[in-house]
């Protein structure tokens, strides 16, 4: 059993290496085939590895001076975007992590190349919609709980802090979720194309108050 599992992992790794040697258009073509026929994917295929390498290449090429590098950069970013979306849909327990990576890449590319509505990579509205999606807490409640947590952590009473974590861990997680999302929104603010509305500005002002 162990050897067959190792063999499957080795085959999947080798397949990924070969796939990443191809042009981004060829990888996109393979993905379109895979979305239509999932059985074409090797067992133990490293989807996260594909997303992370594609992200790295997109960001690296975005910093090149040549225009042809920029079109290739966007092509790799589109690959990463579609794979992160796939991972988020199929792994609900880790969807927040995958979507953070996806939206962080989108923000990076928008700051580099500007915003284009309905573009799979460069659409600001997709980031804004994601920010407000499933926050599970109102602004006023987040503000109150953030102040409460800051006070508790500043007291440096390890025993009391541990009790608070034990009884209010879910609230702390909600605040951290908001802070992580706001970090991406704040980075997006580097783009001249991003003009947050009043509601989003209020949330952005909360970032430095969050634990």
How do residues 110-169 score in pLDDT, each as one tens digit? 999 999 999 999 999 999 999 999 888 999 999 999 999 999 888 888 898 899 988 999
Same domain? For 10 and 107 the reply is yes
Same domain? For 35 and 106 the reply is yes
Helix crossing, 47-62 with 95-113: angle to 10°? 20
Which residue segment(s) compose the domain that 104 sits in? 1-134
Return the percentage of the chain with pLDDT > 70, whole number.
98
Helix crossing, 198-206 with 124-132: angle to 10°? 60
Same domain? For 80 and 110 the reply is yes
* pLDDT, mean of residues 92-96: 95
Query: How sure is the predictor about 5, in pLDDT bands with cuts at 50, 70 and 90?
Result: low
Q: Which residues contact 62 (CB under 8 A, 6 or more apart)?
A: 69, 70, 73, 77, 108, 109, 112, 113
Same domain? For 129 and 210 the reply is no
The residue from 134, 157, 178 where one domain ends is 134
pLDDT at 103 over 90: yes
The residue from 134, 163, 195 where one domain ends is 134
Counted domains in the chain: 2
pLDDT at position 67, please? 82
Same domain? For 128 and 162 the reply is no
The residue from 105, 134, 163 where one domain ends is 134
* pLDDT, mean of residues 184-211: 96
| pTM reported for the whole predicted model | 0.91
Same domain? For 109 and 90 the reply is yes
Same domain? For 26 and 57 the reply is yes
pLDDT at position 1, please? 39
Same domain? For 106 and 116 the reply is yes
Same domain? For 62 and 13 the reply is yes
Taking Cα atoms as reference points, which of 105, 115, 97, 62 lies closest to residue 80?
A: 105
pLDDT at 6 over 90: no
At residue 136, the 3 state secondary structure works out as coil
């Amino acid at each position: 059993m162990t050897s067959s599992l190792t063999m499957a992992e080795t085959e999947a790794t080798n397949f990924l290496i070969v796939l990443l040697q191809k042009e981004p258009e060829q990888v996109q073509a393979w993905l379109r085939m895979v979305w239509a026929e999932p059985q074409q994917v090797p067992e133990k295929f490293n989807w996260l590895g594909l997303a992370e390498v594609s992200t790295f290449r997109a960001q690296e090429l975005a910093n090149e001076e040549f225009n042809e590098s920029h079109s290739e950069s966007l092509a790799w970013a589109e690959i990463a975007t579609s794979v992160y979306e796939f991972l988020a849909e199929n792994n609900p327990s880790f969807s927040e992590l995958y979507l953070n990576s996806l939206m962080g890449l989108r923000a990076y590319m928008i700051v580099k190349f500007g915003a284009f509505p309905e573009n799979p990579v460069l659409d600001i509205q997709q980031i804004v919609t994601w920010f407000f999606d499933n926050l599970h807490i109102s602004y006023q409640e987040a503000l109150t709980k953030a102040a409460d947590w800051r006070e508790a952590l500043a007291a440096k009473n390890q025993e009391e802090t541990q009790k608070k974590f034990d009884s209010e861990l879910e609230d702390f997680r909600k605040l951290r979720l908001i802070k992580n999302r706001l970090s991406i929104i704040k980075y997006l603010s580097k783009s001249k194309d991003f003009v947050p509305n009043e509601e989003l500005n209020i949330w952005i002002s909360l970032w430095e108050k969050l634990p």
